[in-house]
C-alpha cells in the first residue's frame, strides 16, 4: 500500500473511508492534529468569488481561475475526446463491451480524476494563502450555488469552479486558525454599492445602464469613483 505521506505515530486513527474511483481503491484516514492558535491581526478581509477569477480579496490578494490554464484546457479536450470514443464504441444491449470501449472508459476516468485533483489542489492552496495572512475575520457572500447552477449559460463554468468546495475548505481552515468565518446576507448588494460613498448603483442615472454580469467596471455618479466590480464587492464584504 502506498501512502501520500508518512502516517503519524502514537496517534489513534479515525473516520477511515474506502472509496473506488473506477480504477483505483483509496483509503483515507483521519488523525487528530495538535495546532496552536495563531496570533491574528485586526484585519477583516472580504472575499468575492467569481468566474473570471477564483476570488478577489479586499487585501489585494487575487487567485486565478485554474480552468483557464492551458494545461487544464488540454486535459478537458482529451477528456471530451475520450467521452466521444466511449459513446462511439458503446454497443446497446451488449452486457460485455469491447476492449476498445473499456480502454476509452479507463482513459476517461483517469483524465476526470486528474482534472479533479488539479482543481482541488488549487483550491486548497488558495484558501491556505488566505488564512495564512491571519486576519481576525473573513467575510464571504452567502451564495446559493444550487440556484446559480440552474442558469444554463453559467452552470458549466460554475461546476468547474467548485465554489461549494472552496467555501468548505475556507471554513474549516478558518476554524483551525481561530479566524471568524462570516457569511454576509444573501441580499447584500456587495457589487452594486459604492465602497467610497455608500450609494447604491442606480441604472437610471448610471451611464453603464441596466446592471448585469457584463459590467466589470463602473463609475459612481455621485462621487465619481471608478470601481472594478470584484474589488469593490470584496471591500464592501470586508465591512459587513
**Residue numbers annotated as active site:** 48, 141, 230
What cell was used for 186?
Answer: 444573501
**C-alpha radius of gyration, the chain, whole number:** 22
* Residues facing 193 on adjacent strands: 200
Tell me which residue of 143, 225, 223, 236 sits closest to 190, measured CA to CA: 236
Q: What is the rounded CA–CA span in Å between residue 92 and residue 97?
A: 9
Q: Are 149 and 155 in contact (CB under 8 A)?
A: yes
State in Å, rounded, how far the first CA of the chain is from the last one: 49
| SS3 of 101-132 | HHHHHHHHHHHHHHHHHHHHHHHHHHHHHHHC
Tell me which residue of 233, 121, 222 sits closest to 166, measured CA to CA: 121
- Return all residues near 64 (Cβ < 8 A) that are at least 6 apart: 53, 54
- Return all residues near 205 (Cβ < 8 A) that are at least 6 apart: 221
CA distances from 203 to 127, 139, 180 (A): 35, 27, 35
Amino acid at each position: 500500500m502506498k501512502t501520500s505521506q508518512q502516517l503519524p505515530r502514537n496517534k489513534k486513527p479515525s473516520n477511515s473511508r474506502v472509496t473506488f474511483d473506477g480504477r483505483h481503491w483509496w483509503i483515507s484516514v483521519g488523525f487528530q492534529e495538535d495546532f496552536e492558535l495563531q496570533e491574528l491581526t485586526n484585519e477583516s478581509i472580504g472575499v468575492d468569488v467569481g468566474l473570471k477569477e477564483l476570488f478577489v480579496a479586499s487585501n489585494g490578494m487575487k487567485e486565478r481561475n485554474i480552468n483557464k490554464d492551458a494545461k487544464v484546457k488540454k486535459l478537458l479536450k482529451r477528456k471530451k475526446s475520450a467521452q466521444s470514443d466511449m459513446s462511439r464504441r458503446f454497443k446497446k444491449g451488449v452486457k460485455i463491451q469491447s476492449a476498445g470501449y473499456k480502454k476509452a472508459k479507463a482513459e476517461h476516468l483517469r483524465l476526470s480524476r486528474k482534472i479533479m485533483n488539479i482543481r482541488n489542489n488549487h483550491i486548497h492552496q488558495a484558501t491556505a494563502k488566505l488564512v495564512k495572512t491571519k486576519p481576525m475575520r473573513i467575510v464571504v457572500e452567502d451564495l446559493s450555488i444550487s440556484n446559480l447552477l440552474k442558469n444554463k449559460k453559467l452552470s458549466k463554468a460554475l461546476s468547474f469552479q467548485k465554489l461549494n468546495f472552496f467555501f468548505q475548505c475556507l471554513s474549516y481552515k478558518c476554524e483551525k486558525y481561530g479566524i471568524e468565518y462570516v457569511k454576509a446576507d444573501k441580499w447584500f448588494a456587495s457589487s452594486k454599492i459604492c465602497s467610497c460613498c455608500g450609494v447604491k448603483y442606480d441604472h437610471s442615472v448610471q451611464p453603464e445602464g441596466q446592471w448585469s454580469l457584463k459590467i466589470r467596471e463602473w463609475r459612481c455618479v455621485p462621487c465619481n469613483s471608478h470601481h472594478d466590480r470584484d474589488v469593490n464587492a470584496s471591500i464592501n464584504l470586508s465591512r459587513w
